[in-house]
Structure 1
Amino acid sequence: MIEEKVKIPQATSKRLPLYYRFLQNLTNAGKKRVSSSELSELMKIDAATIRRDFSHFGALGRKGYGYDVQYLVNFFRQTLDQDEVTDVALVGVGSLGNAFLKYNFHKNHNTRIVLAFDPKAPVEGHIISGIPVFPPSMLKEKMLEFNIELVLLTVPAQVAQEVTDKVVKTGIKGILNFTPVRLAAPENVRVHTIDLSVELQTLIYFIKNDVKDSHM
């Protein structure tokens, strides 16, 4: 986990998992050292931005040498708590929720779905893709039993806030929201929203404007 005393910008924090992933790929390829310009070319992030991001953590590299790849991998693994797996609950087993259950994250990340909830599940629960699924009536009991602090929310938009109100009462710390609703939650619960329709519309906008710019 990133310590609170390390004051780094939110934009930098969001890039840290990307750095870790690309550095792991370099390690697997046998790369021993890398420059910010090489990372820039690989990641399509400005080299100055990379150097600025890394500078928040002190001297990670040496002038004229670049960065030691294995050192950076170890550093970001510790910074991101990659060796500690976080258990996650999924609320809403529709098409997207089912896809998450089949994929599960622990294969490639330090998170794993261990519990899910869906109105169609029986009271005694059933298993989907190896994950126990229970009805919403069992939410509080099971969330506390599994000691869940992070939730993936993939419910219909019309019930998103209602479900959020219920899950925050279990003492969770974060919600990754895949609904288009802007959720209201207590200050001690961090909510990150991924609105797929907005992301798609944004991509279409940029593509169309790229075409316009190419004809100017």
Structure 2
Amino acid sequence: MIVNTKKRIPNATMKRLPLYYRYFKQAEEAATDRVSSREISEALDIDSATIRRDFSYFGELGRKGYGYNVKSLLNFFMEHIQGTDKKNIVLVGVGNLGSALLNYKFNNLSDKMNVVAGLDSNEELIGRKINDVVVHHESELEDIIKKEKVEVAILTLPVSASQEMAERLVDAGVKGILNFTPTRLDLDKNIYVHNIDLGVELQALFFYMKNL
């Protein structure tokens, strides 16, 4: 397998990579040895040409007439896309959304991530355990990030508190933030922020439904 990961990868391709990883993981669990771009296309509802183009950014991952070796591709995604180390994560803001996220079963990512703590300022939540994750007071943020070597934070705070908390997370050593608030965070360009605005996503859904 010839791999070239030095090309600039489009954002649209990057967003599809977790879907490919999950597909190959499920194929491995089903004892499937190899798959074609057509089979991937039918399973994920992604055009075959798009799949081949996405994979081309990383070199020769498959062979014409043979398809893609499931084990090889799964190992590739684990090593070059997700990395081999497990990321420690904190969730900041244990309200309704934050609690729901802590209760979510990240089964497909259990070997890649570990939520080490929830953080909140609500005294009634401090000390509670949600899905085996203990909620700490936000005053402990810096100590927890340092002790647990946390690199990633999930932010589910009110808009008014998001920017200040994001800056605090970065100062404490966090390298990436999954932002569930409508706020567009103004941070150093070396900090990666992935925004998930549920309002925007719903509007997009309504638009696609209307234009089917």
Q: Which position in structure 1 is the counterpart of 2:65?
A: 64
Residue in structure 2 matched with residue 22 of structure 1 by the alignment: 23
Letter in 1 for 2:87: T
Matches within 5 A, 1:4-83: 5-81=6-82, 83=84
Write the distance in 1 (CA, Å) between the matches of 2:211 and 2:11.
Answer: 28
4+ runs of 1 displaced by more than 6 Å? Answer: none
Unmatched tracts of structure 1, length 5 or more: 211-216
Distance 2:154 2:176 in 1: 9
The offset of 1:121, in angstroms, is 3.8
Q: Cα RMSD over matched residues?
A: 2.0
1:154-195 CA-to-partner distances (Å, cap 9, x unmatched) read 011121112112211112111100001111111121111000
The amino acid that maps onto 2:99 is N
CA distance in 2, matches of 1:86, 1:29: 27
Displacement of 1:197 after TM fit? 1.0
- 1: distance between equivalents of 2:198 and 2:166? 19
User: CA-to-partner distance for each residue in 1:79-129, whole Å, 9 max, x for gaps?
Assistant: 234642211000000011111222253x32011211111112479x51422
1:169 alignment partner, SS class = helix
Could you tell me which residue of structure 2 aligns to residue 171 of structure 1?
173
CA contact (8 A) 2:86 2:113 kept: yes
Q: Label 1:205 to 1:7 Cα distance change in 2 as closer, same or farther (>3 A).
A: closer
Q: Is the 8 A contact 1:101 1:128 kept in 2?
A: no
Q: Describe how 1:75-154 pairs up with structure 2 within 5 A.
A: 75-81=76-82, 83-103=84-104, 105=106, 107-109=107-109, 110-121=112-123, 126-129=127-130, 130-154=132-156
Shift of 1:6: 4.7
Equivalence map 1:135-214=2 (5 Å) = 135-210=137-212
Structure 2: 5+ residue stretches without partners: none
Aligned residues: 206
2: distance between equivalents of 1:104 and 1:91? Answer: 18
The verdict on how the C-alpha distance between 1:7 and 1:208 changes in structure 2, with shifts beyond 3 A counting, is closer
Change (3 A) 1:43 1:81: same
Counterpart amino acid of residue 157 in structure 2: V
Change (3 A) 1:81 1:89: same
**Distance in 2 between residues matched to 1:145 and 1:30, nearest whole Å:** 40
| Counterparts of 2:82 and 2:183, CA distance in 1 | 30
Deviations 1:26-46 (A, max 9, x none): 222222221111111111111
Moved more, 182-191 or 126-135: 126-135
Aligned-partner Cα distance in 2 for 1:122–1:208? 43
CA distance in 2: counterparts of 1:169 and 1:101, whole angstroms: 24
